[in-house]
Amino acid sequence: MPDWPAPKAVHAAFTLRSGGVSAPPYDSLNVGAHVGDEAAAVAENRQRVSAHLKLPLEPLWLEQVHGIEVLDLDAARLPASAAAPTADAAIARGAGNVCVMQVADCMPVLFASRDGSAVAAAHAGWRGLAGGVLEATVARLGVAPGKLIAWLGPAIGPRHFEVGGEVRAAFLRHDAGASEAFHLNARGRWQCDLGALARRRLGALGVTAVFGGAWCTYADAARFFSYRRDGQCGRMAALIWLG
C-alpha cells in the first residue's frame, strides 16, 4: 500500500508477484493478459486482486503502448465485449471507477487531489516520461498541480537500467537539467534514474508533494516481476480509486 498522505476517500495499492495461480515464468500473480500466460490464470489472478482489495468495480484493463493518451473513466462507456482501450493513463472523479496500470519495470505514477475529489494513474516508462505522459495526465485531471499529491511505484532502479545515448538525448531536448539522472558507465552507456526523471517532470509542473520511488523491480526477484531481468514474465498492477 502506498505510504502517502492521501485523503480518506482515496484507495490505492500495488500488487506483488505472489499469491496467484500462474505457472512459471508468470508465477504467480500475473495480471497481464498480453504476455503469453493462460487466459484462465490471468482471469483468476485479476479476480483475486479484486476480491482482496474489495474493489467497487472491475478495473478497465487498458492496452498500454508507452504513449501519452489519457482515458477519462467517468466518460468511458464500453460494452463488456469491447476491445481494451489504448491508453497509458487513466483519470477518475466518480466513486467506484478503478484506474489501473500494468508494469514490470516501467514506473507507475499515482495521483490524488488533496481534497479527495479526483485520482489518476499513469504508466511512465522512459518513452512515456519523455513523451509527456505525466504532463498529459495532470492536464486532463484539471486539478491545480499544487493541490495534487503523487506516488512513484516500484520500477527498475538506476543501478540496473542501462540505456543508450538516444534515451538521454530524448530527455535533454526537453530539459537540459535531466542530465543529472544519467550516469556514464564503463561500457560507454548510461545508467538511467526513472524516479529522478519523474520527479523533475512533476516538479516542473508544480507537483511537489511526491512520495515513493524507493523500490527496484530488477533487484527484488522475490516480490517483483522484471522484464529487463527475466524477459518473459508477468505483470503487476498499480491501482487507485475513490470510495
pLDDT digits (tens, 9 = 90+) for 188-235: 999 999 999 999 999 999 999 999 999 999 999 999 999 999 999 999
pLDDT in tens, 124-149: 999 999 999 999 999 999 999 999 99
> Cell 481494451 maps to which residue?
84
pLDDT over threshold 80, residue 80: no
Contact 221/161 with Cβ under 8 angstroms?
no
Tell me the pLDDT band of 82, cut-offs 50, 70 and 90.
confident
Q: Domain 10-156+214-242: give its CATH code.
A: 3.60.140.10
Domain residue extents for the chain: 10-156+214-242
Closest CA to 238 of 31, 92, 25: 31
